[in-house]
Amino acid sequence: MRQFVFTPKLGWSVSRYNLFETCKRQYYYNYYAKYDPEHPAKKILALKKMTSIPLEVGNIVHDVNKTLLERLKITAKDIDKARFYDYAEKMTQAYVQAKTFQEIYYGRMTSVGAERVFEKVRISLENFLNSDRLTWLIDFAVHKKDEWLIEPPGYGETRIGGMKAYCKVDFMFPVHDRLFIMDWKTGKPDLKKHRRQMVGYTAWAAYHFEKEPAKISPIVAYLHPDYKEIDITVNSSDIEAFAKQIRKETADMNKFCQDVQKNIPKDKALFTPQKSRLCDYCNFRALCD
Ligand code: SF4
């Protein structure tokens, strides 16, 4: 993958822009904690670090799938399912113990038991284990396993239409002359949002591996409650339109910077809180109430 010299300039990402659109104050707390004149950065970062049950389910499933694929690179022997679920359950217990859940912090629940989180983790993993996709991976993708990228390290920095952007794929692998990108989802399908994310991943792969977008197949794999996939088709014109969009969205975010090159925000007051029903699930509620 191509490497970049670090610059502090802000880089577009699906999650960054989603946050920017949803609530400017939440965006400020997420990206500019150290500039906050009211609250210590330490407090903001501690709130930012909090997890939630849905987030943690996704996190654990991603990590277990990573281990599963790494194991598949070593051996395609049948998986001992009892051991596999035991491993996933232990991981769930360790993660749940180590994290602060916003459900508890904001008093919606008195405790979060690992068994509650594991229920959905187990179903998601089971669905993937029983999927035709896993069989297909073993039959058609394993022989090029040395070229697999499983949650590549770093933040996924790339350039889209010359703009700095971040797109972090879960799993990319070649089959014949095509590159496949898979993204695991444990939440609800959201075709518009997920298609946009996959167009970004295609742009990332096209840039780093000099591949025609038409030769890249992004797949969204929904793991819960049943296994379901959505294949996305992306062509060069989609990437061009996407690049224009990124340019506009980056410019929108840059308008909130007093120093664009150094990514220093303007006054906090400009990042107005956008109260909505999403506040009930926002990590920073304690700073807004
Ligand atoms: S609690 Fe609501 S208004 Fe405050 S940062 Fe979160 S989403 Fe924005």
The lowest-confidence range among 28-37, 39-48, 154-163 is: 154-163
288 lines ligand 1 (CB under 6 A): yes
- In the block, tokens 């690179």 appear at 73
Q: Is residue 214 part of a domain?
A: yes
Say if residues 135 and 158 touch (Cβ distance below 8 Å). Answer: no
- In the block, tokens 């912090």 appear at 105
Q: For 14-23, how does the pLDDT look when each residue is reduced to its tens digit (9 = 90+)? A: 999 999 999 9
- Burial zone of 269 (CB within 10 Å; 0-12 exposed, 13-18 middle, 19+ buried): exposed
286 lines ligand 1 (CB under 6 A): no
Say if residues 173 and 70 touch (Cβ distance below 8 Å). Answer: no
Q: Across the chain, what does the average pLDDT equal?
A: 95
Q: What is the predicted pLDDT for the residue at 76?
A: 84
Residues ≥6 apart with Cβ < 8 Å to 153: none
Q: Is residue 199 part of a domain?
A: yes
Q: Classify strands 171-175 and 163-166 as parallel, antiparallel or unpaired.
A: unpaired
Say if residues 145 and 71 touch (Cβ distance below 8 Å). Answer: no
- Count structural domains, the chain: 1
Specify the pTM: 0.94
Distance of alpha carbon 251 from its chain centroid, rounded? 23
Residue 217 sits at φ, ψ, to 5 deg, of -115, 100
Domain that holds residue 179: 144-254
- What atom in ligand 1 is closest to the CA of residue 279? 2
Q: Is residue 226 part of a domain?
A: yes
285 lines ligand 1 (CB under 6 A): yes
Q: For 143-194, how does the pLDDT look when each residue is reduced to its tens digit (9 = 90+)? A: 999 999 999 888 899 999 999 999 999 999 999 999 999 999 999 999 999 9
94 lines ligand 1 (CB under 6 A): no
Cα–Cα dist 103/166, whole Å: 29
* Cα 280 to ligand 1 centroid, rounded to whole Å: 8
- What atom in ligand 1 is closest to the CA of residue 24? 8
Residue 74 sits at φ, ψ, to 5 deg, of -90, -40
Say if residues 230 and 219 touch (Cβ distance below 8 Å). Answer: yes
Q: Is residue 73 part of a domain?
A: no
Distance of alpha carbon 133 from its chain centroid, rounded? 21
Q: For 100-114, how does the pLDDT look when each residue is reduced to its tens digit (9 = 90+)? A: 999 999 999 999 999
Q: Is residue 235 part of a domain?
A: yes
Nearest Cα neighbor of 37 from 211, 258, 268, 216 is: 268
Q: What is the predicted pLDDT for the residue at 155?
A: 87
Q: Is residue 149 part of a domain?
A: yes
Q: Is residue 273 part of a domain?
A: no
Q: For 220-255, how does the pLDDT look when each residue is reduced to its tens digit (9 = 90+)? A: 999 999 999 999 999 999 999 999 999 999 999 999
Q: Is residue 99 pLDDT above 90, yes or no?
A: yes
The CATH number linked to 160 is 3.90.320.10
25 lines ligand 1 (CB under 6 A): yes
Q: Is residue 200 part of a domain?
A: yes
Cα–Cα dist 166/155, whole Å: 6
Question: 166 by DSSP, 3-state: which?
Answer: strand
